[in-house]
């Protein structure tokens, strides 16, 4: 996660400094002087990355050399000062589009050539989980090749929703074996659907895959982004029901007792799951052509669950590359 920040200095008057935001029947007083400024810097990296447990490499375009890019996490009301560097060693133009920002597209999201950089700032005014991605043309190719990620804007009011015991970020996207075949991307001829840039990355019965972990009774919060570029996700927990779903990750947009929830390309949602019993709970897109081609993440619930990062195995490294993958039973 990228957290570099500093607290603004200086005094403020009570009248000028306090603003009011409403969450349902709850009124929240927000003090701008408590907001932080986050210096976020990313580098466009054109490189090969491992995308399956057999060590298969993919000619990706990335932010900071990983697919998806680093999770950016701020709090509602914070300022993000962002800089994108496109090194001279790259070949292609790149850009950055933050869905959490409300700023001029032409000025800030323009593509920069190799050897250039661009900087801009925005205030994260609304809480939620949002998509970020490269917007350089052809955008469909830059997204498909890995220039995607998530920014979490935590609500200023921590009581706006239940406290999570464990958190994960899952970014769904389509993988095309030939990253130069832009026409195949337009024609939706994807080869795999993946979570966090890996084919069955979180499927423990597949070579190289490792399950997500949780303990019985924990509230597991999943920040889910559908990077596309084209396909919808029908996100479902096999053996469970979503305790709550928050459209765009905003606590005000709450649905309860949801079996399956559709997240479109370029959108996001936050999912809460509480599994009372130990066992395995596959998290899938119920568009089965996608699930059976890579988009299965198994949540193993056990009293022995260990602490885990937001995006386990990202970037993915394979200790002993294999020659073939063992597919799951279909």
Query: Which tens digits make up the pLDDT trace of 219-251?
Result: 999 999 999 999 999 999 999 999 999 999 999
Nearest to 150 by CA among 166, 128, 165, 180: 128
| pLDDT tens digits, 244-294 | 999 999 999 999 999 999 999 999 999 999 999 999 999 999 999 999 999
Q: List the alpha helices (DSSP H) in 187-328.
A: 288-291
Using the structure block, give the residue that is written with the tokens 């649905």.
255
Q: Locate 92 and state its tokens.
A: 């292609």
CB 46 within 8 A of CB 93: no
Q: Report residue 272 as tokens.
A: 């809460």
H/E element, 192: strand 192-195
C-alpha distance across the termini of the chain, in Å: 35
**Comparing C-alpha atoms, which of 171, 173, 96, 179 is closest to residue 145?**
179
In this predicted structure, what is the pLDDT of residue 50? 96
| Better pLDDT: 78 or 326 | 78
What is the reported pTM?
0.87
CA dist 122 and 112 (Å) reads 19
Tokens of 10: 């200086």
In what side-by-side order are the strands of the sheet with 261-263?
212-214, 296-301, 279-285, 233-237, 261-263
Beta carbons of 120 and 103 less than 8 angstroms apart:
yes
Q: Which of the pair, 53 or 16, is modelled with greater confidence? A: 53
CB-CB contact of 208 with 312 (8 Å): no
Cα torsion 240, 246, 251, 255 to 10°: value is: -70
| 166, 218 contact by CB (below 8 A) | yes
The lowest-confidence range among 4-13, 140-149, 180-189 is 4-13
What are phi and psi for residue 309, nearest 5 degrees? -75, 170
Would you say 133 and 149 are in contact if contact means Cβ atoms under 8 Å apart? yes
| Alpha-helix runs per DSSP H in 52-187 | 105-108, 139-144, 182-186
Residue found under tokens 């990228």: 2
Other CB atoms within 10 A of residue 126 CB: 17
Q: Tokens for 107, please give them.
A: 């000025």
**Predicted local distance difference test score (pLDDT) of residue 216:** 98
| Residue 95 CB-half CA count within 13 A | 20
Our CA angle for 280, 282, 287, nearest 5°, is 160
Measured in whole angstroms, the distance separating CA 88 from the mean position of its chain's CA atoms is 28
Contacts of 122 (CB under 8 A, 6+ apart): 79, 80, 82, 98, 100, 101, 102, 103
Three-class SS of residue 229? coil
Q: Which residues are within 8 A (CB) of 329 and not within 5 positions of it... i.e. 6 or more apart?
A: none
Q: Does the pLDDT of residue 19 top 50, yes or no? A: no
* pLDDT at 110 (0 to 100): 97
Give kind and range of the element (H or E) at residue 315: none
Q: Both tokens of residue 328?
A: 């799951």
């Amino acid at each position: 996660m990228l957290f570099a920040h500093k607290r603004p200095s200086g005094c403020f008057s009570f009248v000028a400094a306090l603003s009011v935001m409403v969450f349902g029947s709850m009124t929240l007083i927000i003090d701008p002087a408590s907001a932080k400024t986050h210096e976020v810097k990313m580098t466009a990296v054109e490189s090969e990355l491992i995308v399956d447990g057999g060590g298969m490499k993919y000619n990706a375009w990335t932010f900071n050399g990983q697919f998806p890019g680093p999770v950016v996490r701020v709090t509602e009301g914070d300022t993000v000062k962002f800089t994108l560097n496109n090194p001279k060693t790259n070949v292609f133009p790149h850009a950055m589009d933050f869905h959490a920002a409300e700023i001029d597209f032409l000025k800030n999201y323009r593509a920069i050539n190799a050897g250039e950089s661009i900087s801009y700032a925005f205030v994260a005014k609304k809480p939620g989980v949002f998509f970020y991605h490269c917007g350089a043309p052809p955008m469909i190719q830059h997204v498909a090749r890995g220039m995607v990620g998530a920014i979490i804007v935590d609500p200023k009011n921590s009581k706006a929703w239940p406290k999570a015991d464990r958190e994960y970020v899952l970014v769904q996207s389509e993988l095309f074996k030939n990253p130069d075949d832009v026409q195949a991307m337009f024609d939706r001829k994807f080869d795999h659907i993946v979570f966090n840039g890996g084919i069955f990355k979180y499927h423990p019965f597949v070579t190289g895959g490792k399950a997500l972990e949780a303990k019985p009774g924990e509230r597991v919060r999943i920040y889910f982004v559908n990077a596309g570029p084209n396909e919808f996700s029908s996100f479902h927990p096999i053996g469970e029901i979503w305790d709550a779903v928050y459209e765009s990750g905003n606590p005000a947009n709450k649905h309860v007792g949801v079996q399956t929830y559709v997240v479109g390309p370029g959108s996001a949602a936050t999912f809460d799951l509480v599994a009372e019993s130990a066992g395995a709970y596959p998290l899938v897109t119920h568009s089965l052509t996608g699930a059976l081609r890579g988009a299965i993440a198994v949540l193993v619930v056990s009293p022995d669950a260990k602490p885990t990062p937001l995006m386990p195995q990202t970037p993915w490294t394979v200790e002993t590359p294999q020659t073939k993958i063992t597919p799951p039973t279909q």
